[in-house]
Amino acid sequence: MPLRNASDILTEARRRGYGVLSLLGGDLAMVLGLIQAAEDKRAPLILVYNEDVTPQIPIEIAIPLLVRTARSATVPVAVVLDHGRDLEHVVRAVRLGCSSVMYDGSALPYQENVARTAEVVRVAHAAGVDVEAELGSISGSAVDQGSPGPEAAFTDPDAAADFVAQTGTDVLAISFGNAHGVYQGNPVLDLARVRAIHASVDVPLSMHGASGLEDDDYPAIIKSGISKVCYYTAMGIGASDALRDVLMNSGKGELVYHQLLSPAIEYFRSETRRLIDVVGCADTI
């Protein structure tokens, strides 16, 4: 199946009121498990490459791997550069086959974020690639677990409307109490803010730092206006725990490295199936 732009997948999700998972395609076992789960559940999927999380896998190898595997799927899949640093980073990803890119200028002063995002949008759109941008600062880190990261700055609904109008971004990542990596204390999410932003813009909204919440939290988050649910840290911890159990129960000297691949794929497949049910996008294809 041809790759899809993330905004096409997410616009349909916004219209119909369900969430779509955005998951890290860090290696082949992960990618296979995620796509198999989406096919099992007849659900759309967004695969991302994040160079900071998996620096051992160069972008020139990772993105073509994701693109080729995604094209073999029987459900709509988008391949996205996650947290692109600058225009050069974005252009590299576009040339390697990404159907969508996320440019993160959230640490910049507002007008500079607007100007740089608008330039990324202009270049990406010329190549038929859509853009997600970020407004507001999300705390935490998916790389350094337990790090408080930058101080959170919640997204202002009026600024969101102006930002979308000036930049032409196709998807907007927002800050409303969400955090990358492991949450510091109990999450406190400002869903009223999400509803206000949803009402002020006509593009899908993205939540980064969505793992680490209770399953019961997600329906309210999605109902408030979130369409893209970016999830990794809890899944990454769960995969490590699952493989640790395999190693501990294998018996000394009885397990060879390649025998870990099947349990790794199966973990990502089963966990993704569960999460698809949680965000409500099963049987939407």
CATH code assigned at 189: 3.20.20.70
Q: Which amino acid is at 59?
A: I
217 in active site: no
Each residue of 8-53: pLDDT tens digit? 999 999 999 999 999 999 999 999 999 999 999 999 999 999 998 9
Q: Would you say residue 284 lies in a domain?
A: no
Whether 226 is covered by a domain: the verdict is: yes
Could you give the CA distance from residue 11 to residue 24 in angstroms, rounded to a whole number?
Answer: 21
C-alpha separations of 275 from 203, 259, 263, 280 in Å: 23, 26, 18, 8
36 within a domain of the structure (yes/no): yes
Cα–Cα distance for residue pair 188/246, rounded to 1 Å: 36
Domain housing 138: 6-279
Would you say residue 203 lies in a domain? yes
Q: Which residues pair with 231 in a beta bridge?
A: 23
pLDDT at residue number 251? 67
Catalytic-role residue among 40, 52, 82, 162? 82
Contact status, residue 181 vs residue 145, Cβ threshold 8 Å: yes
Is 177 inside a domain boundary? yes
Residues paired with 130 in a beta bridge: 100
Tell me the C-alpha to C-alpha distance, in Å, between residue 270 and each of 45, 137, 151, 243, 285. 15, 32, 35, 14, 19
User: In the chain, which stretches have pLDDT less than 50?
Assistant: 140-143, 145, 147-149
The total number of structural domains in the chain stands at 1
Long-range contacts from 122-126, C-beta under 8 angstroms, 24+ separation: 122/168, 123/87, 123/90, 123/91, 123/94, 124/90, 124/94, 125/168
Q: Which residues have CB under 8 Å from 82's CB, separation 6+?
A: 22, 24, 48, 49, 50, 102, 230
Q: 102: Cβ–Cβ under 8 A, 6 or more apart, which residues? A: 48, 80, 81, 82, 83, 84, 131, 132, 133, 134, 171, 173, 206
74 domain-assigned: yes
| Residue 204, domain member (yes or no) | yes
